[in-house]
Amino acid sequence: MPEKEKYTADDIQVLEGLEGVRRRPAMYIGDTGKRGVHHLLYEVLDNSIDEALAGYCHSIGILIRKDGGVTIADDGRGIPTELHPSGKSAMEVVATMLHAGGKFEKKAYQVSGGLHGVGLSVVNALSESMDVEVHRNGKVHVQSHERGKPKTKVIIAGDTPKHGTVVRFRPDPKIFKETTFDYDYLKERIMELAFLNKGLKIVLADERTGKKEEFHYEGGIVEYVDYLNKARPQKLNSPPAYFHRKEGSVDVECAFQYTDSFNALLFSFVNDIKTIEGGTHLVGYKMAVTRALNDYLRVNKYLKNGKKISGDDVVEGMTAIVSVKIPDPQFEGQTKTKLGNSEIKGVVSSISYDAVKAYLEENPDAGKNIAAKIMRSMEAREAAQKAKDLIRRKSVFESSILPGKLADCSEKDPAKCELYLVEGDSAGGSSKQGRDREFQAILPLKGKILNVEKAPVHKVLTSNEIKSIVLSIGAGFGDDFELSKTRYHKVIIMTDADVDGSHIRTLLLTLFYRYFKPLIEKGYIYIAQPPLYKIKKGKTMRYAYNDEELKKVSEELGGKVDLQRYKGLGEMNPIQLWDTTMDPAKRTLKKVTIDDAMKADELFTILMGSEVEPRKKFIEDYAKEVKNLDV
């Protein structure tokens, strides 16, 4: 065997303590970027939330410190400090050993969000420093750590009437690309946890700015639904419907409200973990609501000739929170946030059916409003189906026929293909001439497309511009969208750098978010960055993409320069458009991502929905922060 292929016992490494976590941090926290840094905080916070779920913790404080660290304090029972069979304090074991915790047996915690037992030890391993302070049995127990290793033994630092745990840590700059905590990024998750745990008080404070907020909701998920619907049109059942039932070890809590919106907003949770991909609990809930409403509509003679409403009809305009607490959740799916426990579907379905049926009978006015909404949804669905069938016909949808104004590329591998959605015929003409025909396709868009936030789906599908986009991408639409059929793995929005261009870009993003969401989730949607200025001095020509660059380039060239402010893409000739905006070697593209679906949905509803007041308030709140209004 060649020397280089030898594989012996000497090649087997045993990493001491938490060294394995430091070598492969992404295995434990996902990545070492912004998300990973915040994940550390969530690991500690989850322990405090588990104490709240167990009924012992009522208040949690989170402080972002000036030194770059963070402090999380709760008033739970406190980590046990007694001697562990290993000969160390249980407090040290939890902080320094993987898979050490009180959540594997069901004695200390009946339900838990942090099930893997790696929380505090992983935070310790990936922190420059971590101090743990436990208030328990009348004493204050403290221990300091550095990069996963104890600096001190557990010592008793004094007496205390309090109980709970305080964890202070500072992410290790040797591990993370960026160690700064983002207040607003944290706020969304903290608000969510406060909504899900009725009565729990969570205080978030930032020493760097002096900002401090308290999240405390006695109404729990009912207030959550109210919050989500604040920018949505007319509420059809107010206050939101609510039920909370327990069957065996399964706890089901739900709140829902209908609005005149065309979009569904359903969030599901298991033991306070957001199940982004849904799962058996959400399937059970949808089945139950569909069955209960079919029964209600049939009994009250809304449905005739044996007609039935579909699940899509039922969820249109519905905002719902489905939160279950179960002892042993099994997660699956691409992001490991899809509940797989098969027995939960039946339990949630049974509880939800009885609760929804009772609500409709006990609230006749709400029942009539909801029934009328669902009948409208059914009629719109039938009209939409006809429209979908039109664009799905073999002669159009499944053949090689593409929109007439699409200038397609010759490359057939979607991973290498780009589709530019270009504002205006003039810019469309320049980009068609300037592009690389091998891999770049151009679809010019005339004017502003339909605002899909305010339109029913059948009207969306009769819009010529939207039909052109659907046919060009070639992967279907809405619920029928199949990511694998996408003809381009880069869909680039290219609009003018002015107010109208920003509006068109927002309309397109709203369309993609509502009806092509997998494209955003997969990272296929981009925004082109055309230059704002052309700077010329003699034979030298440079471009600037913002005012800072303009200043820098002007200083570099020195003296008097000829300056042109581009009002639109159409002012650039094909060569300039290629050089500045389309050449992969030189261009800048912004990838569109969804870090938080709840926040994204809220913003699209506020900015693009039919309610004026929330939009007015948003403008008043953020007007002072606007720097470049026409960019």
| Alpha carbon distance 535, 554 (integer Å) | 7
Q: Which of 534, 260, 462, 502 is nearest to 373 (CA)?
A: 260
Cβ atoms of 108 and 54 closer than 8 Å = yes
Cβ atoms of 491 and 421 closer than 8 Å = yes
| Alpha carbon distance 576, 574 (integer Å) | 6
Buried residues in 347-359 as b, exposed as e (16+ CB within 10 A): bbbebbbebbbeb
Cβ atoms of 369 and 258 closer than 8 Å = yes
How many other C-beta atoms lie within 10 A of the C-beta of residue 533? 20
- The encoded tokens of residue 166 equal 């305080």
Give the 3-state secondary structure of 282-303: HHHHHHHHHHHHHHHHHHCCCC
- The encoded tokens of residue 550 equal 């303009």
Question: How many H helices and E strands in the chain?
Answer: 20, 24
Cβ atoms of 420 and 397 closer than 8 Å = no
User: Looking at 295, 498, 521, 596, which residue is catalytic?
Assistant: 498
Active site residue 500: yes
Within 522-566, residue ranges assigned H as helices are: 547-557
User: Looking at 50, 74, 223, 423, which residue is catalytic?
Assistant: 423
Active site residue 50: no
Q: Which of 320, 163, 136, 165 is nearest to 240 (CA)?
A: 320
Rounded to 5°, the CA angle 495-498-499 comes to 105
Active site residue 496: yes
Give the 3-state secondary structure of 440-476: EEEEEECCCCCCHHHCCHHHHCCCHHHHHHHHHHCCC
Beta bridge partners of residue 168, listed in sequence order: 71, 131
User: Which strand (E) or helix (H) includes residue 44?
Assistant: helix 34-53
Environment class of 551 (CB within 10 Å of its CB; exposed 0-12, middle 13-18, buried 19+) = exposed
User: Looking at 146, 500, 521, 596, which residue is catalytic?
Assistant: 500
The structure tokens 């505090």 sit at: 120
Active site residue 423: yes
- The encoded tokens of residue 200 equal 């729990």
The structure tokens 């006749």 sit at: 364
To the nearest 10°, report the CA torsion of 431, 435, 441, 447. Answer: -10
User: Looking at 496, 579, 601, 611, which residue is catalytic?
Assistant: 496
Q: State whether residue 111 is helix, strand or coil.
A: coil
Q: State whether residue 586 is helix, strand or coil.
A: coil
The structure tokens 């936030």 sit at: 453
Q: Which of 351, 349, 331, 348 is nearest to 340 (CA)?
A: 331
How many other C-beta atoms lie within 10 A of the C-beta of residue 287? 18
Strands of 46-105 (E only): list them: 59-64, 70-74
Q: Which of 527, 482, 478 is nearest to 505 (CA)?
A: 527
Residues annotated as part of the active site: 423, 496, 498, 500
